[in-house]
Amino acid sequence: MKKILSNFWETILAACVVVLCVGVFMQVLLRYAIKVSFPATEEIVSMSFIYTIFLGAAVGMKRMEHLSIDFLLQRVPPGLQNVLRLVVTAGTALFLFFVVREGIGFVRDSYTQTTTYLNLPMSYSYAAIPVSGLIMLYYLAKRTYAFVRSGGASAEAEGHS
Amino acid sequence: MGVLAIVLIAAFLVGIPIAFALGLASLAFLLKSDIPLVLIVQRMYTGVDFFPLVAVPLFVFAGFLMETGGISRRIVDLALSIVGPVRGSLGMGAVASEMIFSGISGSSIADASAMGAILIPTMGKSGYDNRDSTAIVAAATGMGILVPPCMAMVVLGGMGQISIGALFAGGFFPAFVMALAIGEPWLFLLLASVVILVGSAVLDGLPAIIILYPILLPIAVKLGIDPLHFTVVMVAAEGIGIVLPPVGICLIVICGVSKVSLSEVTRPLLPYIAVMFLSLLVIMYIPWITLVVPQHRKRTSHLRGAGQRPHRPQARGVGHPAGQADLPQRDRREGLGPGGPGRPLGRARPALPAGGGRQGNPLPGGHSFTAHGTQRADGFRALQARRAARRHDHLFRHHGRPHRRFRLRRQALCRIGGPETEPATGP
């Protein structure tokens, strides 16, 4: 149980990928075997695809796996490195803040739109963006807190080596 | 546009993750030009709500399944045993196994991590320097993007309304050109000078190609470049881009696997990149390499009838008239007008008479395709004549002027082959 909780987003993400795989596989199979495709399945697949992408981005933030160019970061003295890290965090947070703010408005505005076949509100899939933004902000704040507390001494794992 | 570029470059340099740097730059631009910021969210959504992109995670997933299941290990064994007796076999084996692997998987990133994880330790045991083996695997990955299936081709085929089957077929020979070039050491010396040219060109994988392709394709088509050929060249260029230091994504993945830093791998990688650039030039200037396989496919599928044509997915929101979208690629291209003198690439084709198409008589001057592909027991001479006739029709159709020998045989065929091979007497 504890393991599931600590990997909460990963679990949901995995579920999305499973839905994606099964859905696409079924679509392909049906289209070739009985030459019928169900648009409803396609809507489910595309929604789970959207969630796969944005939850994936959130998990990437949690694990610091977002791709960055650390060319400069590797070549400056440690003091400046810490400053740069804070600048990176601030820049990322700024963007995420706008994403979340605008995303919530976007979801609210599109509440009346529904998908063609399942009649689900479009905002269900639009919601992926602010949700993912919030998760990313949370992990960003968590990491920055740890970073500041340790006085910048912690050699945090880079996004990639 | 100034703000966009400045913020983007600054964000990249400081080390803000690429995704957020792109977002931050557009945010700055939107703020400056007073455009509603909701556009960010909207574009983020529509950017990923593009069904062919599903190929990306699924191909990566397939690649990792293959790695976990042991297929990759067996592919390496197979490739090594094929090129075993040749000198320098391990490097070539790496290239060969990369070709086989990307022939099954479609994701360069999955290729990079799967093949890198197996090949680099193996090569290390045989005395390869870690940096050299990283460079070889990286170069091979860049080449492997052309081996079908490939997710860049799926995505671009969806965007450009090109048959994905034909793209896969077209990528095949160019991949071999690249593979041979990487395996051929003397070429790097010859072309080390090109490296400087390449070094400045920084491409960045699928996103870059998605952004640039829709802008470039119409221009290419207008210039008379075959869209199929153009797309394959684009993918080949992407193949080089993804292993180009310092931002090539596959290079970064492979470096992560082999624990070699980017700056260490750059030097041994440069010759390979030079060679790949040369192969890119070759592919670029000889469209035949790309087009020979799809054309053959199309020719036969054309004759076999409509049911055999490759599946073409209908990309959304692209308003092709239904009838036109149903025609094979070649016929649509001919709709662009006859090849004039201003065609830099691709061949100029003779203008077809109006109404010429799949249903009508496709060749001017009363020529028609022969009904080859069927087995008939009327002797070797007739077979030979039919073959020559086929060649004649091909040359006539694509180059406008067949060899005299084939013309004579074409006439001979009409005497031997019976009434159904008689040239049609015009529409």
For residue A93, give the chain B residue with the closest CA: B20
Nearest residue to B133 via CA among B99, B100, B90: B90
ipTM above 0.90, yes or no: no
Higher pLDDT, A72 or B356: A72
Query: Are A52 and B12 inside 8 Å of each other by CB?
Result: no
Q: Which residues of A touch B42 (CB under 8 A)?
A: 106
What is the end-to-end Cα distance of chain A in Å, rounded?
32
Q: Which residues of B touch A87 (CB under 8 A)?
A: 14, 16
Query: Are A84 and B38 inside 8 Å of each other by CB?
Result: no
- Residue B410: φ, ψ to 5°: -60, -40
Q: What is the mean pLDDT of residues B348-371?
A: 39
- The pLDDT tens digits for B267-310 are 778 888 778 777 777 777 776 777 777 776 655 544 443 333 44
A39 has a chain B CB within 8 A of its CB: no
B8, B54, B242, B314: best to mutate for the A interface, most A CBs within 10 A = B54
- Which residues 244-303 in chain B show a CB within 8 A of chain A? 246-247, 249, 252, 255-256, 259, 261-262
- Among partner residues A42, A52, A98, which is closest to B37 by beta-carbon distance? A98
Query: Are B53 and A49 inside 8 Å of each other by CB?
Result: yes
Q: What is the distance in angstroms between the Cα of B287 and the nearest Cα belonging to chain A?
A: 33
B8, B16, B204: best to mutate for the A interface, most A CBs within 10 A = B16
Q: Could you tell me the pLDDT band of residue B68, with boundaries at 50, 70 and 90? A: confident
- Residue-averaged pLDDT of chain B: 63
Q: Which residues of A touch B259 (CB under 8 A)?
A: 161
Higher pLDDT, B314 or B70: B70
For residue B257, give the chain A residue with the closest CA: A161
Q: How does pLDDT run along chain A (161 residues), one tens digit per residue?
A: 677 777 888 999 999 999 999 998 888 888 888 877 778 888 888 889 999 989 999 998 888 877 676 667 777 888 888 888 889 999 999 999 999 999 998 888 887 787 777 778 888 888 899 999 999 999 999 988 888 888 765 444 444 33
Query: Are B13 and A46 inside 8 Å of each other by CB?
Result: no
- The pLDDT tens digits for B381-426 are 666 677 777 777 777 776 666 566 666 666 665 555 554 454 544 4
Q: Which residues of B touch A14 (CB under 8 A)?
A: none
Higher pLDDT, B378 or B167: B167
Give the list of residues 6+ apart from residue B276 with CB closer than 8 angstroms, or none. Answer: B139, B142, B143, B178, B181, B182, B239, B240
Query: Are B15 and A69 inside 8 Å of each other by CB?
Result: yes
Provide the pLDDT for residue A54: 92
For residue A99, give the chain B residue with the closest CA: B41
- Among partner residues A88, A95, A161, which is closest to B255 by beta-carbon distance? A161
- Residue A114: φ, ψ to 5°: -130, 160
Provide the pLDDT for residue A135: 92
Determine the Cα–Cα distance for residues B32 and B26; give it in Å rounded to an integer: 10
- Among partner residues B15, B246, B255, which is closest to A88 by beta-carbon distance? B15
A136 has a chain B CB within 8 A of its CB: no
Res B44 pLDDT > 50: yes
C-alpha B386: how far from its chain's center? Answer: 33
For residue A159, give the chain B residue with the closest CA: B17
Query: Are B18 and A66 inside 8 Å of each other by CB?
Result: yes
Q: Which residues of B touch A96 (CB under 8 A)?
A: 20
Q: Could you tell me the pLDDT band of residue B122, with boundaries at 50, 70 and 90? A: confident
- Which residues 42-71 in chain B show a CB within 8 A of chain A? 42, 44-45, 48-49, 51, 53-54, 57-58, 61
**In contact, B92 and B183? CB cutoff 8 Å:** yes
Residue with tokens 């409803």: A40
Provide the pLDDT for residue A134: 93
A25 has a chain B CB within 8 A of its CB: no
Q: Which amino acid is at B90?
A: L
Which ranges constitute the DSSP H helices of B204-326? 205-222, 227-241, 249-258, 262-285, 287-304, 322-326
Query: Are B57 and A52 inside 8 Å of each other by CB?
Result: yes
Collapsed DSSP state (helix, strand, coil) of residue A113: coil
Q: Which residues of B touch A57 (CB under 8 A)?
A: 19
Residues B344-381: b if buried by 16+ CB within 10 A, e if exposed: ebbeebbebeeebeeeebbbeeebbbbebeeeeeeeee
pTM of the model: 0.58
- The pLDDT tens digits for B223-248 are 666 777 777 777 777 777 767 766 66
Res B266 pLDDT > 70: yes
Give chain A's count of helices (H) and strands (E): 6, 0
Q: What is the mean pLDDT of residues B12-40?
A: 84
Q: What is the mean pLDDT of residues B316-345?
A: 38
10 Å Cβ neighbour count for B76? 22
Bridge partners (DSSP) listed for residue A121:
A114
3-state secondary structure B44-70: HHHHHCCHHHHHHHHHHHHHHHHHHHC
For residue B58, give the chain A residue with the closest CA: A21
Q: What is the distance in angstroms between the Cα of A47 and the nearest Cα belonging to chain B?
A: 9
- Sorted by where each begins, the domain ranges of chain A are 2-159
B354 has a chain A CB within 8 A of its CB: no
Provide the pLDDT for residue A55: 92
Provide the pLDDT for residue A15: 92
For residue A108, give the chain B residue with the closest CA: B38
Q: What is the distance in angstroms between the Cα of B24 and the nearest Cα belonging to chain A?
A: 6
Identify which of A84-98, B20-34, B354-368 has the greatest average pLDDT: A84-98
Query: Are A126 and B14 inside 8 Å of each other by CB?
Result: no
Collapsed DSSP state (helix, strand, coil) of residue A121: strand
**In contact, B252 and B242? CB cutoff 8 Å:** no
| Residues in chain B, overall count | 427
A72 has a chain B CB within 8 A of its CB: yes
